[in-house]
Amino acid sequence: MDFFLLEKTILGLFVAVFVAIAISKHCGKKFKLPPGPIPVPVFRNWLQVSDDLNHAIDTTLSSIEWGIAELVNHPESQKKLREELDTVLGRGVQITEPDIQKLPYLQAVIKETLRLRMTIPLLSHMNLKDAKLSGFDIPAESKILVNAWWLANNPAIWKKPEEFRPESFLEEESKVEVNWNDFRYLPFGVGRRSCPGIILALPILCITIGRLVQNFELLPPPGQSKLDTLEKCEQFSLHILKHSTIVMKPTA
C-alpha cells in the first residue's frame, strides 16, 4: 500500500470525524444572529481554524506514518502488539476508543513513536518580561525554542534512546504520560501552551495503528528487509524522507 494513498484516505476520515464532532456538539441547538453586521472577522477566523486543522492533520498523519514504518522495521514489536490486541479484545474484535486503556503495549508503541520520531522537535515560547535563567539574561519578548526532541532522546535520561523500544515505557523508571508535567517527554508541550489536539490525536493514533495491526501483517516491499527511515526537516517539523510502499498481508 502506498503511504501517500494512506495519507489521503486518513485525511478524509480525519476531516469527517472533526465535522461530525462539531455537528454533534451543536445538534439540537438553535442559533439566532443579532441584527446588523456581524462584529466578528469570520474570514480571518476561518483561516485560523483552517490553518490549525491543517497543522493537526499533518502532524497526526506524520506520526501514523512513523508508527507504521517502525512496526514494519521491528516485526517482533508488531507481533507482540497483535498478540496483546487478540488476547485482550479477542481475535476479530476491532479496537474502539474505550479499549485503549486496557492495552498498555499499544499505548507504549504510540508513546515510543512520539518519543523517537517527534514531529515537532522544537517548542516555541516567548517571555513577556525580562527573565534570568541559569545565569543567562533573557530580554522580554524573546523567542525561546525548547528542544523537546533532545529531552526525549538524551542518553543520560533514557536507555538506548536511539532504538525503537516500546518496552521502555513499561519499565518503572521510564513510565511517563503524554500529558503530564514530566519534562523528559513533551511531544505535545506542557502547561497552558500545550497542544489542545492531544485529545483527538492520541485516540486516532491508537485506533489507526491498532486496527492496521489487527487486520494486517505490515511488511516491507519485496526485495527489502527494512524501510528507509531517514528524516527530512521542514520549517518546524520532522517527516519521513521517502514515502515507501509497504505490503499489507491480511491476518485472517
Residues flagged as binding site for heme: 195
Grid look-up 476491532 returns 94
Examine the pLDDT at 100 and tell me if it is beyond 90.
yes
Q: For 204-226, how does the pLDDT look when each residue is reduced to its tens digit (9 = 90+)?
A: 999 999 999 999 999 998 988 89
Q: Is residue 40 part of a domain?
A: no
Q: Is residue 39 part of a domain?
A: no
What CATH number is given to the structural domain containing 216?
1.10.630.10
Q: Is residue 208 part of a domain?
A: yes
Residue that wins the pLDDT comparison between 35 and 119: 119
Cα–Cα distance, 115 to 67 (Å, whole number) = 11
For the segment 226-234, the average pLDDT, to the nearest whole number, is 76
Q: For 152-206, how does the pLDDT look when each residue is reduced to its tens digit (9 = 90+)?
A: 999 998 989 999 999 999 986 667 776 667 788 888 888 777 887 888 889 999 9
For the segment 109-125, the average pLDDT, to the nearest whole number, is 91
Examine the pLDDT at 142 and tell me if it is beyond 70.
yes
Examine the pLDDT at 58 and tell me if it is beyond 90.
no
- What's residue 178's pLDDT? 65
Q: Is residue 58 part of a domain?
A: yes
Reported as a pLDDT band with limits 50, 70 and 90, residue 12 is low
Q: Is residue 85 part of a domain?
A: yes
For the segment 57-74, the average pLDDT, to the nearest whole number, is 89
- What's residue 134's pLDDT? 87
Q: Is residue 38 part of a domain?
A: no
| Lowest-pLDDT choice from 51-65, 84-98, 183-197 | 51-65
Cα–Cα distance, 173 to 181 (Å, whole number) = 15
Examine the pLDDT at 33 and tell me if it is beyond 80.
no
- What's residue 163's pLDDT? 95
- What's residue 17's pLDDT? 52
Reported as a pLDDT band with limits 50, 70 and 90, residue 42 is very low
Question: How many domains does one find in the chain?
Answer: 1
Residues flagged as binding site: 195
For the segment 42-65, the average pLDDT, to the nearest whole number, is 64
Cα–Cα distance, 116 to 162 (Å, whole number) = 7
Angle at 244 between CA 242 and CA 249, to 5 degrees: 160
Cβ atoms of 83 and 109 within 8 Å: the answer is no
List the domain range (segments joined by +) for residue 94. Answer: 3-18+47-250
pTM for the model stands at: 0.76
Cα–Cα distance, 117 to 57 (Å, whole number) = 16
Q: Is residue 34 part of a domain?
A: no
Q: Is 73 exposed, middle or buried, given 0-12, 13-18 or 19+ CB atoms closer than 10 A?
A: middle
CA gyration radius, the chain? 21
Q: Is residue 23 part of a domain?
A: no
